[in-house]
Homo-oligomer: A and B are copies of this chain.
Amino acid sequence: MFSKFLLFTVLVAPVFSLWPAPRQMTTGSKTIVLSSSFSITVKGTAPADLSQAIARTTSFIKNDNMGRLIVGRGSTDAASFKKALQLPGLTLKYTGSGAIPSISTEAVQDVTARNEQYTLKIPADGSAATITAPSALGLFRGLTTFEQLFYTYEGTIYTAEAPISITDSPAYPYRGFMLDTSRNYFPVPDILRTLDAMSWVKMTTFHWHIVDSNSWPLQVPSFPQLSAQGAYEASMVYSKADVSQIIAYAAARGIDVMPEFDTPGHTSVIGDAYPEHVACQQTSGAYDDTVANEPPSGQLRFAVPATSDFAVSLVKSISNLFTSKWFSTGGDEINQKCYDNDAPTQAALKAAGLTFEQALSKFTVAEHAVLTKAGKTPVVWEEMVLSHNVTLSPDTVVLVWISSADATAVAEKGFRLVHAPSDYFYLDCGGGGWLGNFVGGNSWCDPFKTWQDAYSFDPLNGITSDQAHLVLGGQQLLWTEQSGPENLDPVVWPRAAASAEVFWTGKTLPDGTAANVQNALPRLHDIRYRMVQRGVMAINLQPYWCAVRPGECDL
């Protein structure tokens, strides 16, 4: 047993560089060279998005031009090329019933209902490789794995570890990334590029924090004044066509776009078009940090019936733009002092005979009712469960953000949860304070969250085995006070790939070793270099000297 394990490690470890690591894998040591006539075929009729995925995989294999990350970049493999067998093709086999569904159809199913499992085989005898899966998503995940198995040395495309047999499926269904497009705007191509990179590491969910207090970049058909008045500039608006394009682009890559309309806080900008609905809006003058967590202050007067109706109608209109089964109504950082000072709110509470908390619950129930009616699952930030007395449907999903420790309390209340903790997963931390005249100030969530921090996250820490089913997965997040198109890729990649492996692979690598930053690093380098080859500006994790010498820069 021990000797087998050692053998496995020695033969496989240097070449194995998939990200995320598959759940089960056996490999050999034979080199197989890609035939010049290599092609990918599908048993049955491929839906359009699967055909497009196949075309991308073919392109990546041929154009990644990725040399193995060792000294010589694969020169030592070259001796084996001449007598190596050729891989004639890859065949995709759908094992579900009926015609092969589209990736896009499956990608927008409830995240807990999707099937991503697949089996991938590259024989050592020169016969075709196969990917077998009971779903289009499974076939697509298999393709994503397949395209990471090949290296190029002086024009020869090869894998050095045949026979390869992989049986794979994710540990958690929700593997996401959140982008805030309100604090600073990101053009559509930046979002599409981000979706591409997400798909390369098998993520399932793009949590789109579209709007916030700063700007309203979303064109909502029934409420055109919101973006007309609240977008930063006319050019900084996501039209209905943009949204549809983003959803379709994501879905074709196995990603669901979960929209967020954060309420009742973080809504200052609504006051630009509808001042009657916003309390303590900062329209000019200095920032008052007693009524908001950051400028500009301003929150929906949720206790006022007309405002509640407005917000509920807006939730409905926004959710209609999206195909996702999930919708986040936010609910973080509600500032009570703002409402305490707000005459319309106080009058409304008095008229209705409701306390602040009762009114908040009534408002949230009303918002969620339209979602439930549309067959959607409501998602909220953790305060809705931990800080307020809000009536929530038991299927509500809770985003844990303030501290990873808060997952315990959410699970104890019986809610399903997604890990999004600032102490592990906030990509914006550590860049210094951004408020003006804040000399020498650091960011509130210092220090910088390294990929190692994210990678060391334990999804079940503080969770009992009885509660484990409540943990749906997790995501890294980018709040964009100090970001924009200029640094989107460098801030996000390859760091956000860390959680993608945590929630796909779990704690054990396919060779039985425990996942840790040491055995992750060479593989993370690998996917980072592939990202760069494919046009995503993922940053160097180490000097190139270290990247091609796994282990030699370990402390």
Contacts and interface: CB of A to CB of B under 8 A. Distances in A.
Nearest to A232: B544
A314 B101 CA distance: 66
A28 B535 CA distance: 48
Given A296-B545, A447-B442, A447-B446, A553 B436 contact: yes
Interface string A215-242: 1000000000000000010000000000
User: How many copies of the polypeptide does the oligomer hold?
Assistant: 2
A155 interface: no
Given A446-B447, A452-B432, A456-B439, A545 B490 contact: no
Contacts of A487: 487, 490, 537, 539-540
A438 B554 CA distance: 7
Contact of A555 (B214, B438, B481, B541): B438
B544 A185 contact: yes
Contact of A480 (B213, B214, B436, B543): B543
B440 A456 contact: yes
A13 to B, nearest CB: 14
A286 B284 CA distance: 59
Interface string A441-456: 1100011111111001
A487 B528 CA distance: 13
Contact of A433 (B289, B436, B438, B452): B452
A287 interface: yes
Contacts of A480: 540, 543
Interface residues of A, number: 69
Interface string A415-432: 000000000000000111
Given A432-B453, A436-B542, 18 more contacts: A184-B544, A214-B545, A215-B543, A215-B545, A232-B545, A287-B553, A289-B555, A295-B553, A431-B448, A432-B447, A436-B517, A436-B518, A437-B554, A437-B555, A440-B452, A441-B450, A480-B540, A486-B540
Nearest to A545: B214
Nearest to A491: B490
A328 B483 CA distance: 36
Contacts of A451: 432
Given A448-B431, A540-B484, A518 B551 contact: no
B439 A540 contact: no
Contacts of A481: 540, 542-543
A489 interface: yes
Interface in A389-440: 430-440
The 10 A-B pairs at the shortest CB distance, nearest first, are namely A432-B450, A487-B490, A436-B554, A437-B518, A486-B537, A183-B543, A214-B545, A484-B540, A435-B555, A437-B554
